[in-house]
Amino acid sequence: MCAIVGIADHKEASNLTYLGLHALQHRGQEGAGIVSTDGEQVFAHRRRGLVQDVFGNGSLARLKGSAAIGHTRYSTTGSSNIANLGPLMMKSSLGWVSLAHNGNLVDGEKWTRKLEAEGAIFQSTNDTEVIIHLMARSGEKDLEAALIKALKQVEGAFSIIAMNADKMVVVRDPRGFRPLLMGDLDGSTVFASEDTAFDLIGAKTVREVRPGEMITVSLRNHGAPESSFPFAPKEKAQCVFEYVYFSRPDSTVFGSNVHEVRKELGRKLAKEQPAPDAHLVIPVPDSGVPAAIGFAEGAKIPFDMGIIRSHYVGRTFIEPQQSIRDFGVKLKLNPVRSAIQGKNIVVVDDSLVRGTTTRKLVKHLRDAGANKVHIRISSPPITHSCFYGIDTPTRKELIASTHSTEYIREYIGADSLGYLSEQGLMETASAMSGRGFCDACFTGKYPTALN
């Protein structure tokens, strides 16, 4: 998962892009970059690390110009080395072009092998570079035409912001896997993966970039954004896991507020998987909080913050090293003994992936005095890997892909374990945002061919 931000025609384009990336840091913590232009020259800065650390020592002042695009990354394809950090850049018959991409091409490896066999030289192991090469080979002299020709050849998820000296072009794949929004800041057009970026910079959300839509903003004549739909329509497959885990709860994604969707998932979970002997509902912070509130409301059981999270530790799901992930449980989550001691508690989390973190947490809660620990998960069992931009583990590492709920309950040491049903998840998401979601990580029903 990545974050992308674009600012067109604003005197503080790079500063605003930085702030937008800061608001979207949760979508990628391995590195960040910004590319800007003053219409004549192009300026770039990319580094590994958090946004606030990457853009120190006067780097923003060197990113001149009134247009900029930015990117935060965590690895979906390719390693986390600096060559894979976005936005990527190229120079070809198109002139210089920079591109920021959120998503994943399911045929990226196939295209890399094919292009290398034809003489292409890759600087990264990032599937975004496939798009760059296909654009350079397109024979087109226009940014939009080159981008369209390249994207019509690939398959997968892409929300993209591309820029050259003349234009900023955004495009979203026809299935709409990943969110992308357009906003307005005092007459300047802005784009971002989530509208929390707009909140921080003071922009107003105009609308969602529609699945299959391309929007072009001229950087020369300050014209209004121009919309087109160059791709054949396809059935929508918006990523439902954006609601479950990835998006910020204060964001509006796919037309609905994430916090409200998660609360409703918790209410549905309370109906499907009650815990009648429980005295207290507690969340696994932070992403489990809204669902726990909903569960408590639905079950009419008191809610409390029985676990405190240290905010100086990264999100365990997207840390690249297993050793860091395991060590981070005690470092990150600590029970409130006075709240849980002697009680039967319902612990609500958004998902259960490998089970190792939950197992350690259950033991931690019992050591702190909990009498019974009921685990409730506000999504179905994750049984399949995602190939559209979320770095879920390989299928053999997903505990629910090969083990029953009862086995998992015993493994994590809980008194009971209950998941939200796939039907309950999709009914809730569809009721709040309309139909058209990808749930392949729960069902194995992928909306594209996997190459």
Q: Rounded to an integer, what distance in angstroms lies between the CA atom of residue 62 and that of residue 315? A: 31
pLDDT digits (tens, 9 = 90+) for 2-49: 999 999 999 999 999 999 999 999 999 899 999 999 999 999 999 999
Q: Is the peptide bond before 286 cis (omega within 30 degrees of 0)?
A: yes
- For domain 243-443, give the fold: Rossmann fold (3.40.50)
**pLDDT number for residue 144:** 96
- Where do we find the tokens 């770039």? 44
User: In this structure, what are the phi and psi dihedrals at residue 410, rounded to the nearest 5 degrees?
Assistant: -65, -40
Give the pair of three-digit tokens for residue 389: 């931009």
E strand spans, 49-166: 67-73, 88-92, 95-105, 156-163
* Average pLDDT of the residues in 168-179: 97
E strand spans, 28-74: 31-37, 42-48, 67-73
pTM score, whole prediction: 0.92
Task: Judge whether residue 425 has pLDDT over 80.
Answer: yes
Task: Judge whether residue 344 has pLDDT over 90.
Answer: yes
**pLDDT number for residue 64:** 97
* Average pLDDT of the residues in 198-205: 98
* Average pLDDT of the residues in 78-95: 78
Q: Where are the domains of the chain?
A: 3-234, 243-443
**pLDDT number for residue 390:** 84
Superfamily (CATH) of domain 3-234: Aminohydrolase, N-terminal nucleophile (Ntn) domain (3.60.20.10)
Residues carrying an active site annotation: 2
Range of lowest pLDDT (222-226, 375-379, 440-444): 222-226
Q: Rounded to an integer, what distance in angstroms lies between the CA atom of residue 417 and that of residue 203? A: 43
Q: Rounded to an integer, what distance in angstroms lies between the CA atom of residue 105 and that of residue 156? A: 4
**pLDDT number for residue 34:** 97
3-234 and 243-443 share one CATH topology? no
Bridge-partner residues for 170, per DSSP? 161, 215
Largest CA distance in the chain: 71
Q: Is 126 helix (H, G, I), strand (E, B) or coil?
A: coil
* Average pLDDT of the residues in 410-429: 97
pLDDT digits (tens, 9 = 90+) for 210-223: 999 999 999 988 77
Q: What is the CA radius of gyration of the chain?
A: 22
pLDDT band at 326, cuts 50/70/90?
Answer: very low
Range of lowest pLDDT (231-235, 311-315, 445-449): 311-315
- Sign for the CA dihedral angle at 150, 450, 116, 45 comes to positive
pLDDT above 70 as % of the chain:
95
* 84 or 326, greater pLDDT: 84
**pLDDT number for residue 328:** 60
